[in-house]
Structure formats: C-alpha cells, structure tokens
C-alpha cells in the first residue's frame, strides 16, 4: 500500500471498519462498513485532512447502499415533484448517486440538508449536477460516456493516485525544469508545450492549426527525442478551442492512457469540438491521419476536471491550480507549483484582461510566481482593437443597414465564447427595441455549445449568472434563436428572403457551415459578412480582410471563381484575447511579478514585439522561443 494511505489509516479509530482505501486522482477515498462512522465521523476526517494536507472523502461500502430501485423511490419521495430533479443515476462502484437537475440549489437545500437526508435514508452519497434547459442529444451522449465507464474510471483514477503519491516522501536530489515548444512558437495554432522535470513529463495543451496547408503544419511536432508518449504523465488543457485541444484524441489514437486535466465546461466543449472536427474532415475528404469518435471517447474517459482555484497534485512534484482566464466558458490560467517550492509557472493560454458581456476578467493575483508564459495573438501596437461598446455599436449599425436593404447577415464565429457573447448582444438589442425582431439562425454545433453554456452559469460574470439562474430571463432561451440542424433546413434558409442573421462555424471560413453560407450569399451586395474572430494566415477570412474579392474554389479538380460582392466587415473588439495594451497592463498588475516571461501563441513579429516591449517596460528577462527550442526555467 502507498505510504500516504498507511498514514491516513493510522489516524482512524479502530471501529472505523474501513474496507477499502484508494485514490481518485489526488483525492483519497475511504469506504466504511460502519454506518455510525459514515453519518457522523465527529470531525475525524477533517482532522486527518488538516494533518496530511490532502483531500479525503468517506463513503459507504457498496454493501451498505440501499437497493437501487428502492433508493430511487426514496430519493424521489424526499425531493418531491416540484424541485426539478430530472434524472437519478447510480454509480455503484463508488457508492455515489448522481441527481441531474436544472436548478441544483433546490435539490441541495439550505445548508445541504436535503442531501444529508438522502444519504441517511439510502446510504448513497448524493451528488447534484446541473443539466441545461436547452436539450442537446450530443451533450447527453458525451456525459453518458462518463456514466457508462464508471468502473474503468475508478481503476484509472486509483492508478493515477498511486503515481502521484509514489514519491510522496521521496527525497529530491537533482532538480531542474525545462520547457520544449512543440507548437505555437512564433505562430498561432497547435499550442503544445512539453514541461519536464527529473520526475515528470506533462503537456500544456495539444492543439491543431485549422488554417494549416499541410498535415505537418497542422499538428504539434511530436516526433522529437524529448517526447515519448509512453513516458507522458499528464496533459493539461487551458480551454476548449481546437488550436489548444484538437490534437488530444490524436494522443489516444497512438496509445496515451494518462489523465487530461481541465475544467468541466472545457471537458464537454472539447468533446463537441473534436467530434465536429471529425465530421468536417470527412466532409472535406481530409481524413488522412485524423482520429475517430472512439479516440474522442477515450479522451473523455481519461478526463479529470477541476474547479477554479482547486489545488491538486498531478505528479509527485507538480501541483496544479486553475484560475479564470476570461477567454471562453471554463477557460483557465494554468498555475503550476513545481517541486517543494522550487519554481512556479503561470501559463496563460488564451486570456482576456477585461470583463466581457459573458465572462469576468482574468485573475492577476497568485500565491507565488517565478515564470510567465503569455500569449501574443494581438501582441502588437499596430493592432488597434475597439472597445467592446464600440464593437457592439458597429455591429448593430451594420445589421440595421442590411435589414433596411432586406439583406442577410452572416456571422462566422468560433463555436465557443464569441458566438454566445454575440447572441447576448443580439437578444438584448432586439428585446430593448434597438433592432427589429428578426430570426437568428444558430447552425448545428453552435446550438449544442449554447445548450452547454446554460449548464455552467457559475462560470459567467455576475450579471449573466443571475439571468441564467432566473430561467424566465435566460437570454439564451429567447425565441429569436432558431436551431438549424439538417442540410435541408440550411438550404431552405438560404432560399428564404431576408432579413435575418446566420451564426455558424468556422470563424476563419476554413470549412464548416459558414463557408457554405458564404458561397451562397457572396454575390449579392445587399448581404454582409461580419468577421469577429482572429483570421489565421492563409485562411479565407484573412484573404477577405486583406481585400480579396475574387475567390478560387477547387472541387473535383475543377476551379470556380466566386466574385465577392457582399459587404465585408471585420470587428476585433469582441475578441476573447487581450490586445497589446491589456497584455502589457496584465503583466504590470501581476502579483507577484515574474522573473522571466516567455511569449508564445502569436505571429512571429507580434511575439518579438511583445517580448521586446515587456522587457523595456518591466526590465524582466523575456524571450520568444522558436519551434522546437527548449528553455530551462530552473
């Protein structure tokens, strides 16, 4: 038995009747046959936690749990019919019952009294999960994967815990930290960074470059001596966008069996995006080397999700904490405490240092900080982004102009974050009478992602969180939003007269429904396209931004020239990224100040410019590494 388990058991009374002591990742779980100890341990478990500084949970031995059929009736009787519980799902391997509800607060009760009552009556440990008021079959299927693989996950999580605590009391001798840049070094896309210590190897993000012209430029560069998939301890995902998570199923395709650390919204949205990417690849006949839905399922089975500011060990010498980054739902700043106080690294991923219509601003205060790895997507003074209010007014004026012409507005958007913020803006302006009531068509996956947003209101800023909790005022439930699922529905919309708004992926027009809509709408000058996302080099969106008005499409070796007559607008003020001023201000306000800054995730000129300016402003060592460079942090 791992030594820390011996330490925990030695602090329990003789009559604790512990039948199993195991791990769920870094958490320690004890199963007891003593009902009295289970229901009232008199603070013993709390004292154990205080002594070992690790999370410990007490559960009933499965033999004590009430029969599932009887327990379900008992739970339904306790909850009553007006509380809003939708599903009751049992996890017998872990003695847990999951209660799904649209309003978890009503199920939990004041001070958790209802949950205590359920535990006392059934001897099952109740956990309440929010389900979205907007139904999404795809989202339900994703969550079902976790329920169906509970037995596997119990064994998997126990194995992870053994690895973490294997070196619990091990003495550290030779200590060093290195980072190798396998992607997103002087480029945007395919973020992937390998962090190594003598004890651990972890990946920070593992994404793809959706605008890449070749497979070699699409995926991270993993065929290097430093990277061995069989030695990889963990993967940490900062947020759910394909350029940060799109290659993770690829790891499982080639044999990775370790944990993926992320937040719960990032877990769900990542699966949606990866499945959508598979469908898009098949549609465009770009399936060589791509993963399958089975690989996405494997990714889900190996996820370990954390809340913001929840501290957890992920290897014997690395401790992880997520903080809000303000970029999209569930996006996180990644803080790593490495060694026994040896070094602290903050990886920003993509972050937004302002309060948006949807999210709060990125966090600036941390317990300790020596190195900062920061994005540079808009890391140039030449990128003059408007304020959010200016961007909103510009968007509304464009829409008014097109409505007056009875035209159609296409909004190619990222599936996560930008699209939901724009939905809020449209709903509010129509509700307040600034815009006439016109339909807003939400294409395919966007509907599923929006449904998911209503399941995680705790991750929004205070204003939107309040609206979500009050379902009568939930802006995402407005009847102006119309779901578009099938090709027939899509064709009907294209043939319908305007005015109306279409929101569809992909945001760079590299594929997906937005490209099909663009082809159908491009030649009519009454129509407009509004680009609100970063447009990668080589993408159709970038070509439109740069003024190209004749686009060549090649299908079945036949070339067609499309003349672009519709209005082309680009608005960067809705970005989930920080602009140059916000990036530099973020570093200025960091507490504590880092001693080293590494600039990544930006075009070469922007990475170099931001690194130079951060050095001049703060006199802190800065660098903008090239692809495949390795930097020693300590």
Q: What is the DSSP letter of 588?
A: H
Q: Using the predicted structure, report yes or no on whether residue 170 has a pLDDT greater than 60.
A: no
Distances (CA, A) of 7 to 33, 49, 316, 416: 20, 11, 17, 45
Is domain 65-131 in CATH 3.30.300.20, yes or no? yes
Copy the structure tokens of residue 262.
Answer: 């992320």
Q: Which residue ranges make up each domain of the chain?
A: 3-63, 65-131, 173-381+577-632, 388-570
d(CA 392, CA 387): 9
Please say whether the beta carbons of 136 and 119 come within 8 A. no
Which pLDDT score, from 0 to 100, does residue 472 have?
A: 67
Mean pLDDT of 94-120: 87
Output the six-digit token pair for 606. Answer: 């922007």
Q: How far apart are CA 235 and CA 204, in angstroms?
A: 6
pLDDT at 485: 83
* Residue keyed to tokens 């995926």: 219
What CATH class has 3-63? Answer: alpha beta
CB 283 within 8 A of CB 251: no
Quote the tokens at residue 326. Answer: 């303000």
Q: Taking 80 as the threshold, does the pLDDT of residue 556 lie above it?
A: no
Look at residue 4 and tell me whether its pLDDT is greater than 80.
yes
Length reported for the chain: 634
Element (H, E) at 70: helix 68-79
pLDDT of 83 > 70? The answer is: no
Confidence class for position 171, pLDDT limits 50, 70, 90: low
Q: Alpha-carbon distance 442 to 332, whole Å? A: 26
pLDDT on residue 626? 98
Contact at 8 Å (CB) between 418 and 239? no
CB 190 within 8 A of CB 208: yes
Per the listing, tokens 């190619």 go with 412
User: Whole-number mean pLDDT of the chain?
Assistant: 91
Residue whose entry in the numeric block shows the structure tokens 């663009």: 518
Q: Which residues contact 494 (CB under 8 A, 6 or more apart)?
A: 517, 520, 521
Pick one of 3.40.50.1220, 3.40.50.10380, 3.40.630.30, 3.60.15.10 as the CATH number of 173-381+577-632.
3.60.15.10
Q: Rounded CA gap, 19 and 26, in Å?
A: 20
Q: What pLDDT, in 10s, does the model give residues 361-410?
A: 999 999 999 999 999 999 999 988 888 899 999 999 999 999 999 999 99
State yes or no: pLDDT of 136 exceeds 80.
no
- Give the C-alpha separation, 203 to 192, whole Å: 7
End-to-end alpha carbon distance in the chain: 33
- The whole-number average pLDDT for the span 2-14 is 92
Asked whether the beta carbons of 413 and 395 are under 8 A apart, the reply is no
Q: Specify whether domain 388-570 bears CATH 3.40.50.10890.
A: yes
C-alpha 518, offset from chain centre:
28
* CA neighbor of 98 nearest in space, from 121, 82, 115: 115
Closest CA to 599 of 383, 381, 373: 373
Q: Map tokens 């649209």 to a residue.
A: 102
Q: According to the model, what pLDDT value does residue 63 have?
A: 96
Q: What tokens does 450 get?
A: 């929006």
Under DSSP, the state recorded for 88 is E
Cα–Cα distances (Å) from 547 to 532, 567, 568, in that order, read 16, 11, 9
> Is there a contact between 611 and 622 (Cβ–Cβ < 8 Å)?
yes
Two domains, one topology: 3-63 and 173-381+577-632 = no
- For residue 82, pLDDT over 70 is answered with no
How many Cβ atoms sit within 10 Å of the Cβ of residue 562? 14
pLDDT band at 163 (very low <50, low <70, confident <90, very high): very high
Which one-letter DSSP state was computed for residue 509?
S
Higher local confidence (pLDDT), 159 or 175? 159
Task: Report pLDDT digits (tens) over 517-542.
Answer: 999 999 999 999 999 888 888 889 99
């Amino acid at each position: 038995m791992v030594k820390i388990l011996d330490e925990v058991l030695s602090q329990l009374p003789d009559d604790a009747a512990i039948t199993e002591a195991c791990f769920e990742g870094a958490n320690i779980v004890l199963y007891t046959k003593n009902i009295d100890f289970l229901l009232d341990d008199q603070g013993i478990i709390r004292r154990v936690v205080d002594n070992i500084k690790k999370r410990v949970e007490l559960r009933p031995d499965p033999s004590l749990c009430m029969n599932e059929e009887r327990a379900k009736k008992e739970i339904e009787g306790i909850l009553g019919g007006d509380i809003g519980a939708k599903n009751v799902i049992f996890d017998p391997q872990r003695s847990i019952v999951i209660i799904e509800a649209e309003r978890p607060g009503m199920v939990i009760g004041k001070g958790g009294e209802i949950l205590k009552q359920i535990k006392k009556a059934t001897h099952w440990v109740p956990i309440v999960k929010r389900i979205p008021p907007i139904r999404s079959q795809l989202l339900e299927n994703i969550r079902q994967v976790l329920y169906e693989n509970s037995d596997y996950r119990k064994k998997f999580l126990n194995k992870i815990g053994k690895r973490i605590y294997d070196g619990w009391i091990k003495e550290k001798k030779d200590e060093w930290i290195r980072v190798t840049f396998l992607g997103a070094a002087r480029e945007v896309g395919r973020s992937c960074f390998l962090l190594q210590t003598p004890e651990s190897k972890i990946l920070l993000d593992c994404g793809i470059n959706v605008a890449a012209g070749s497979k070699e430029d699409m995926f991270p560069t993993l065929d290097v001596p430093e990277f061995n998939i069989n030695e990889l301890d963990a993967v940490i995902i900062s947020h759910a966008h394909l350029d940060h998570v799109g290659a993770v199923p690829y790891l499982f395709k080639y044999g990775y069996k370790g944990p993926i650390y992320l937040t719960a919204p990032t877990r769900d949205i990542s699966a949606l995006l990866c499945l959508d990417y598979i469908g898009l690849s098949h549609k465009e006949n770009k399936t060589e080397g791509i993963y399958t839905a089975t690989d996405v399922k494997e990714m889900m089975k190996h996820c370990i999700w954390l809340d913001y500011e929840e501290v957890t060990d992920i290897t014997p010498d690395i401790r992880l904490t997520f903080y809000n980054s303000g970029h999209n739902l569930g996006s996180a700043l990644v803080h790593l405490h490495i060694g026994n106080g040896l070094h602290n690294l903050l990886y920003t991923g993509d972050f937004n240092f302002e309060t948006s219509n949807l999210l709060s601003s990125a966090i600036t205060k941390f317990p300790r900080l020596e190195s900062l790895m920061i994005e540079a997507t808009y890391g140039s003074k030449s990128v003059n982004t408007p304020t959010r209010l200016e961007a909103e007014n510009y968007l509304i004026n464009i829409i008014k102009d097109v409505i007056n012409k009875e035209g159609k507005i296409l909004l190619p958007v990222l599936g996560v974050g930008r699209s939901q913020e724009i939905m809020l803006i449209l709903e509010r302006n129509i509700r307040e009478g600034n815009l006439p009531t016109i339909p807003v068509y939400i294409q395919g996956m966007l509907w599923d992602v929006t449904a998911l947003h209503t399941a995680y209101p705790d991750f929004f800023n205070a204003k939107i969180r309040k609206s979500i909790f009050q379902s009568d005022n939930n802006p995402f439930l407005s009847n102006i939003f119309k779901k578009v699922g099938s090709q027939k529905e899509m064709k009907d919309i294209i043939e319908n007269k305007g005015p109306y708004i279409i929101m569809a992926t992909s945001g760079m027009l590299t594929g997906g429904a937005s490209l099909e809509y663009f082809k159908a709408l491009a030649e009519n000058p009454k129509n407009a396209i509004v680009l609100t996302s970063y447009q990668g080099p080589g993408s159709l969106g970038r070509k439109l931004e740069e003024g190209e008005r004749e686009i060549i499409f090649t299908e079945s070796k036949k070339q067609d020239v499309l003349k672009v007559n519709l209005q082309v607008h680009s608005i960067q003020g809705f970005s989930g990224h920080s602009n140059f001023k916000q990036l530099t201000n973020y570093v200025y306000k960091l507490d504590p100040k880092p001693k080293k800054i590494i600039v990544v995730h930006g075009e070469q000129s922007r990475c170099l410019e931001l690194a130079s300016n951060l050095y001049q402003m703060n006199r802190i060592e800065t660098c903008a590494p090239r692809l495949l460079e390795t930097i020693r942090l300590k």
